[in-house]
Amino acid sequence: MKVILFFLYASLYLNCIEGAVTLPQNASVQAVIAFGDSLMDQGNNNHIKTIFKANFHPYGMDFTNGNPTGRFSNGKTLADFFAKGFGVKEYLPAYLDPLIQHKDLLTGVSFASGGAGYDPLTSKLSNVMSLSSQLEMFKQYIQKLKGNIGQEAAMNRITNSVFLVSAGTNDFLVNYFTFPMRRLQYDVPAYGNKLVKLASNFLQEIHKLGARRIVVFSTSAIGCIPIERTLAGGAQRICVDKYNKAAQFFNSMLKLELQVLASNLPQTRIAFSDFYKPLMNIIENPQQYGLEVTNRGCCGTGELETSYLCNKRMTRTCHNDSNFFFWDSLHPTEKGCDIFVNLVLPDMMKKLF
Ligand SMILES: *[C@@H]1O[C@H](CO)[C@@H](O)[C@H](O)[C@H]1NC(C)=O
Ligand SMILES: *[C@@H]1O[C@H](CO)[C@@H](O)[C@H](O)[C@H]1NC(C)=O
């Protein structure tokens, strides 16, 4: 008895030093819940009216049976590889999938909607589900879980879930740098600050609903995404410095805010997952990762086609997408996702547990 008490006190004491986190250190991840944009959309957009869809060929050509599922990839997405990396399951389903079953809900779903952003205007411009509608679906999901396994077991599951949040890219690329509304209201630092506040509010909302281990992805090197090289990178299709600078500014503000938030939210781990540096590293050193092409996608010319423009009439689609980081002009291939998750998972585990 004394020995047990000693360990109990010792571990409480150690946990205090670490910032009052008393979440079980070795708890297994019971579910993965994803929010945000097309990097995490597992097919939700199939069920809404928007042009941002990926439920037709050649999307999904390397998926089981070669079926397009609405994932913005030739196969699996980042969300799938994270679900597997956390030891939960091979495929993270879309919450709106009509074939979804009780047992699928237990181990997590994605609420993400391709085209969404932190800024509600971004989701509105793309006619997709904003983070606040995603939050409403999450509340509905919690009610379903409670109905299935009871209040306590449901909340226990939420506590032991990992939450993935991916947004920000569309706020800059689809909204700020494409339409004039936000540019007239904000310069880049002010808009970045607005996005960080919106991100923080969203994270506090999911925390209120029970989220305790949260991964927030930074924006990537958005100026090096193939479509942006084509539209704004000149004849050489170089990375667009202005976009990368905006991403870097936003990311550094986001990182600071997450540190503040984590210290204010009891019993919560928030991991900032940098997408910028790993992507830059892959783009600049493809061979190191077993890749050949990182400046254009595989679908069609790879320089412009995404969503409806990447379709089965594309004749120039590359022969082997395993050599490409990008699948279409915006989204990574299954191989790219695999490489990225392997690169960031160890550090993420350290930050979450
Ligand atoms: C955590 O570790 C303790 C001690 O090794 C063990 O008793 C407990 O079952 C573990 N919990 C989980 C969820 O793995
Ligand atoms: C595609 O490329 C990968 C990696 O370079 C290689 O392992 C694989 O055999 C190739 N597949 C085909 C069909 O050429």
Tell me the CA–centroid distance for residue 290 and ligand 2, in Å.
10
Question: Residue 348's closest CA among 8, 16, 9, 32?
Answer: 32
Report yes or no on 88 lying in a domain. Answer: yes
Residue 316 has pLDDT above 90, yes or no: no
Instruction: Supply the residue whose CA is at minimum distance from atom 3 of ligand 1.
Output: 26
Report yes or no on 51 lying in a domain. Answer: yes
Cα four-point dihedral sign 78, 344, 272, 171:
negative
Higher pLDDT, 85 or 5: 85
Given phi > 0 = left and psi -120 to 50 = alpha, else beta, which region is 302?
left
Report yes or no on 308 lying in a domain. Answer: yes
Taking the mean position of all CA atoms in its chain, how far away is CA 74? Answer: 17
Order of strands, sheet of 31-36, starting from the edge strand that comes earlier in the sequence: 31-36, 161-166, 213-217, 269-273
Higher pLDDT, 282 or 1: 282
Residue 13 has pLDDT above 60, yes or no: no
Q: How far apart are the C-alpha atoms of 278 and 37, rounded to whole Å? A: 19
Q: Is the CB of 322 under 6 A from ligand 2?
A: yes
Tell me the CA–centroid distance for residue 322 and ligand 2, in Å.
6
Domain count, the chain: 1
Mapping DSSP to helix (H, G, I), strand (E, B) and coil, where does residue 3 land?
Answer: helix
Taking the mean position of all CA atoms in its chain, how far away is CA 335? Answer: 16
Tell me the CA–centroid distance for residue 320 and ligand 2, in Å.
6
Residue 17 confidence (pLDDT): 36
Which residue among 4, 25, 26 is best mutated to probe the pocket of ligand 1, counting the most ligand atoms within 8 A of its Cβ? 26
Count other C-beta atoms under 10 Å from residue 167's C-beta.
Answer: 27
Percent above pLDDT 70 for the chain: 92
Report yes or no on 16 lying in a domain. Answer: no
Percent above pLDDT 90 for the chain: 86
Residue 16 has pLDDT above 60, yes or no: no
Report yes or no on 11 lying in a domain. Answer: no
Report yes or no on 9 lying in a domain. Answer: no
Instruction: Supply the residue whose CA is at minimum distance from atom 3 of ligand 2.
Output: 322
* 331 annotated active-site: yes
Residue 3 confidence (pLDDT): 44
User: 63, 72 in Cβ contact below 8 A?
Assistant: no
**Both structure tokens of 148:** 């299935």
Q: Is the CB of 27 under 6 A from ligand 1?
A: yes
Structural domain boundaries, residue 76: 29-352
Confidence of residue 5 (pLDDT cuts 50, 70, 90): very low
The lowest-confidence range among 6-15, 129-138, 258-267 is 6-15
Q: How far apart are the C-alpha atoms of 332 and 54, rounded to whole Å? A: 13
Q: Which residues contact 71 (CB under 8 A, 6 or more apart)?
A: 41, 42, 43, 54, 59, 60, 63, 77, 80
Mapping DSSP to helix (H, G, I), strand (E, B) and coil, where does residue 39 land?
Answer: coil
Mapping DSSP to helix (H, G, I), strand (E, B) and coil, where does residue 22 land?
Answer: coil
Report yes or no on 237 lying in a domain. Answer: yes
Question: DSSP class of residue 27?
Answer: P
> Looking at residue 110, which CATH number applies to its domain?
3.40.50.1110
Report yes or no on 216 lying in a domain. Answer: yes
Tell me the CA–centroid distance for residue 62 and ligand 2, in Å.
13
Residue 303 confidence (pLDDT): 87
Residue 26 confidence (pLDDT): 60
Question: Residue 299's closest CA among 280, 273, 317?
Answer: 317
Taking only the tens place, the pLDDT of each residue in 65-116 is 899 999 999 999 999 999 999 999 999 999 999 999 999 999 999 999 999 9
Q: Using alpha carbons, list the distances in angstroms from residue 208 to 71, 137, 192, 201.
A: 29, 15, 24, 11
